[in-house]
Structure 1
Amino acid sequence: MPAPNGGPDAVGAGQDEGLALTWLYAPGDRPEVVAKALRSGADVVLVDLEDAVPPGRKEYARAATAELLAEPAHGRVPVHVRVNALDGPLAGPDLAALAGLPGLGGLRLPKVGTPADVVRVARAVRAAGADAPPLYPLLESALGVENAFAIAGADPAVRGIALGEADLRADLGLTGEEALTWPRVRTVVAARAAGLAPPAQSVHPDVRDLVGLGESCRRGRALGFLGRAAIHPRQLPVIERAYRPSAQEVAAAREVLAASATSPGALALPDGRFVDPAVVAVAHRTLLLAARRPPD
């Protein structure tokens, strides 16, 4: 049966952005920083109109972002925009200014708590005469995490979900990495169940703590995440190293695919590894990632 939302039927199948490893935030009221982000090597640039922009500069940030996206991307790094809080007075003007712009790669929807939040945004964009761009709801509360699967399938325009861990920590009073394990796993499972690409991890807020960032990325990868959002370019290489396949992983994936091509169905490799369709699907994704990111 096809996966909902146009998502992958096999692990790793899907659109190119479904294999993105690095998503770099840049404040919308600082076009010079956005320009640097576009040159940083990030797979996707996230222009922020919400938390990173002071109240007095919201209109300027919106206008500057609309100007940036007024022309088609033409091979430029994809640009997504995080709009202001959906239950506040600024989200409507944000959506009206951005809907239909040819350079808009996607909309990040903050603090989504229910599927109705997503439906409301999609309807507002379509009512303005534009197709809904790819939507990426952010789960930043207990309610959002509880409704993760319903949010992931709320509208065909939804292309991914992600946690907003700073707000989630505050909402639940969480401390430490281990406290986030359950909501992280729930988000990964909800995305997969809805046929979406694996979610990217939330930002690591300490831009100087590159060791901690790397350790957190390795834990996130083990939980099923793919890539991570960043708030500074110096974080990008750490995220890439943690998430891109190693030379050993690439070699193992090639061995799996070679064996499966000659012996369809389940089989055991000479070293004892068991191969079945799920293992083959993971091997395919490994090689897709390796094609974009050469292994170390």
Structure 2
Amino acid sequence: MTVESWIPAGPALLFCPADRPERYLKALDRADMVILDLEDAVAPSNKQAARDALVGNPVHPDRVIVRINAAGTDDHELDLAAVSETQYRLVMQAKTEDPAQISAHGLPTIALIETPMGAMRTEEIVAAPNCVGLMWGAEDLIAGLGGSSSRFGDGEPDAGQYRDLPRYVRARVRLAAGAYQKAAIDAIHADIDDTAGLAAEVRDAVALGYSATACIHPSQAPHIREAYAPSPERVEWARQVLDGAAAHDGGVFALDGEMVDGPIIAQARATLARAGERPTD
């Protein structure tokens, strides 16, 4: 794995508590990648049991991310020691606030931006040599600000939607990842039963060029995959765009009355990539 080339194995990334090893294979069966969680999903009293389970129940490493606890905590060093006893080498570091916190261990790392300081230093963090991508989290961010909710509540305009500050951090994470050509993973949708809200949020993530979306329940994975997959009509449009680009040697041309130039061609390539096709230049 190289920092420049890592992309998720698919768009649905499912969190699984590391202290529940009986769920590891089930999670891999339902999602594209599994995030074996040593942090929030594990009670403090079960942290060591989670590390033991991580080491003692190996699954294929290519589809595994290990979320480790924040730098500066006792669990952080213990987590790194446990990871070193496995074949897993891709970690997600909770509450990243400084590039030195991930460069210290050198493992390929998805930096989780979920604190006010982490949000303010996003551009520095993504530039760390071993940062392969960014993910953001809304609830820890709001808690760190002394707030009460990341989303508008029932009865408010835009109920269920992110408030402005989380939207700002979400956009900042996407921009920073894009600027450094690294993967961007969108935050979880905590309301498991709100499949319509999840689908709408994922469609927006796709429109912004997010690489994947994390989830907390297996039932959410199919909705994520469906929203990331382009429609047959969109795939056919992308093929026509690239065929036209080849015929016009990459220059500007018209397709169905609309001008096609460099940015549109890039969007067509991205569409085919999401459809599992390898576009040719």
TM-score (norm 1): 0.83
Residue 154 of structure 2 corresponds to residue 165 of structure 1: no
Which of 30, 42, 48 is the aligned partner of 2:37?
48
Percentage of pairs with the same residue: 34
Residues 1-296 of structure 1: pairs in structure 2 closer than 5 A: 6-7=3-4, 14-15=5-6, 17-18=7-8, 20-40=10-30, 42-69=31-58, 73=60, 78-99=63-84, 101-102=86-87, 104-122=88-106, 132=107, 134-155=108-129, 157-172=130-145, 173=147, 174-176=150-152, 177-179=162-164, 180-197=166-183, 199-291=184-276
How many pairs align? Answer: 263
Q: Is the 8 A contact 1:46 1:81 kept in 2?
A: yes
Alpha-carbon distance in structure 1 between the residues aligned to 2:85 and 2:258: 50
SS in 1 for 2:186: coil
Structure 1 residue 18: Cα displacement:
4.0
1:125 corresponds to: none
Alpha-carbon distance in structure 2 between the residues aligned to 1:21 and 1:257: 24
Structure 1 residue 222: Cα displacement:
2.8
- Normalized per residue, which structure has more strand? 2
Between 1:166-175 and 1:187-196, the stretch displaced more is 166-175
Alpha-carbon distance in structure 1 between the residues aligned to 2:204 and 2:274: 19
Question: Superposition RMSD on alpha carbons, in Å?
Answer: 1.9
Structure 1 residue 275: Cα displacement:
2.1
Long gaps (5+) in structure 2: 153-161
Q: Which amino acid aligns with 1:240?
A: R
Structure 1 residue 170: Cα displacement:
1.9
Q: Which amino acid aligns with 2:204?
A: R
Alpha-carbon distance in structure 1 between the residues aligned to 2:271 and 2:182: 17
Long gaps (5+) in structure 1: 8-13, 123-131
Seen in structure 2, the aligned counterparts of structure 1 residues 98 and 6 have a Cα distance that, compared at 3 Å, is closer
Off by >6 Å, runs of 4+ in structure 1: none
Deviation per residue, 1:241-282 (Å, 9 max, x gap): 211111111011101100011102332324232222332222
Alpha-carbon distance in structure 2 between the residues aligned to 1:100 and 1:58: 16
Structure 1 residue 140: Cα displacement:
0.4
SS in 2 for 1:47: strand
Alpha-carbon distance in structure 2 between the residues aligned to 1:220 and 1:160: 15
Q: Is the 8 A contact 1:139 1:163 kept in 2?
A: yes
Alpha-carbon distance in structure 2 between the residues aligned to 1:270 and 1:227: 30
Alpha-carbon distance in structure 2 between the residues aligned to 1:220 and 1:285: 13
Alpha-carbon distance in structure 2 between the residues aligned to 1:191 and 1:57: 34
Deviation per residue, 1:6-52 (Å, 9 max, x gap): 53xxxxxx44x346200000000011122210221x11100001111
Structure 1 residue 146: Cα displacement:
1.5
Deviation per residue, 1:175-222 (Å, 9 max, x gap): 33142221111111100111213x121111111111211122222223
Q: Which amino acid aligns with 2:125?
A: I
Q: Is the 8 A contact 1:38 1:77 kept in 2?
A: no
Structure 1 residue 100: Cα displacement:
6.2
1:129 corresponds to: none
